[in-house]
Structure 1
C-alpha cells in the first residue's frame, strides 16, 4: 500500500451530453494528503456526489486532471484502482443471508479474486479490520439484521480489509442517530491517523464536520471550493456563507412546496 496524495488541477466535473457538456463545477484545484480527515460540505445539488464519483473514477472528468501519487487517475487499470481506492456510498446494500464476516472478507477480492480462497494473510487482515472497527460481536450476524450504524461500520471494515490508501465515503452519517454519527466520525478520524490513509467524506452535518475534520472543503453554488481547517473557516466567518446558502435552499424548497 503506497503513501501518496491526491492532486486535482483545473478540474471540471459534470456530465457529457449529446450537444454539450453539463458542467457542475469547474476550475477546481486542491490537494488531499494522507493522515488527515477531510470533509466535503455543501448544499444539496451543488455537486458533492459528482465530485466524489469523479475522484473515485466512476465518472470521467470533463476537463483537467486528477493525479494520485505521480500518476494520472485515468491511467490506472481496474485492478490497480481496486487496490488503491475504496468507496462507501450512501445507498444501503440489499444483501441477505450474508454474515458480517463474509461481507468484510469481500474486501480481499482484489487480491484473491471474487471467489478466491482466503489464505492465512487474508484472514489476519480481515480480523484486524473487524477489531479496529470494534464489531467483533457482530461477526456472525446477518447483514439484514443490523442497525444502520452497525451496517455502516461493517462497510468501513470491508474497506479496511481492502487495504487501499484512499477511502471515499458519500454521506457516511446519513440515516444514523446522533450517537452513531459521532462513533462513525471518531472511527474515520482514527483510521486516517493510525493507518495514515486518505479519508475523504461528504456530509450535511456541519457541526460534526467542524468538530472532527482536519480539513474542510466547502463547495459553493457555482462550483467554487473554499478550503481550510475548521479553525480557519470559523475564524474568518466563511462558514456563514454555508449557513446562508443552506437557509436560501430551505426557503426556496418551502416556497416550492407551498406553491404546489
Structure 2
C-alpha cells in the first residue's frame, strides 16, 4: 500500500515539475519576443502546480480595454514553450480575440501535425473572434488533415469565401474533424455548396452555422446534396438488408433440404 501511495505522489510531483518548467520557459520566450505573459494562463498553471495535476486545457486571450502602449500576450511564446518542454498533456486549446501572425500559424500547425518523435494530441481547437489571413486558413486546413483534432470552433472569426475555400483545399475534409462550428463567420449564400461537400465527402457530422447569411439559395445548396446523399445511403442499406434476408432464406432452405435428405437416407437404410 505504501508503495502505491509513493508511486502516486511521484507522478503528482512530476506533473508539478513539468508545469513549473513550462511556466518558466513561457515567461522566458515572452521576454525574448517582447510580449506579455497571459495573467489568466499563469494563474491557471500555478493552480495546477498546487493541485499537482497535468494541464489539459489552455486558454489564451487578449485582455480588453488595455492602454495602447501595453504589451499584449502573444501565441508564439506559449507554443515555443510547449514544444521546448515537450509538454504533451494538453488536449484543448482555446484562443480568444487574437490577431494571428504568420509565425503563430506556423508554430501552431507544427504542434498539431503528426510528425517527428513527439506527438501533441490536441482534440479541440477554438479560435474565437481571431483574425486569420487567407494563407493562414489554408495552412490551418493542411495541418488539420494530419492532426488528432476532432472539434474545431471558429466562431466570430471572419472566414469569408476564400478562407473557407482555403480550409477545404488545405485538407479539412480529410482529417478527423467530426464537429465544426462556423457561427458568425461571414458566410453567404456562396457557402452552401462548399459546406455540403464537406458534409457529404468528409467526416464532419456536426455543423453549426448560426449567425451567417446563407439565405434561401445557400440553404438549398447545402441541404439538397445532404438529402440526396442520405437517400443513397438509405438505398444501399435497404439493398444490403434485402441481400442479407435473401441469403438467410436460401441458407434455411438448404438446411431443410439437407435435413430431409438425411431422414430419407436413414429411413431407406432401416428398410434394408
Decide: shared fold, TM above 0.5: no
Decide which structure has greater helix share. Answer: 2
Structure having greater relative contact order (Cα 8 Å, sep ≥ 6): 1
TM-score (norm 2): 0.30
Largest Rg, 1 or 2 = 2
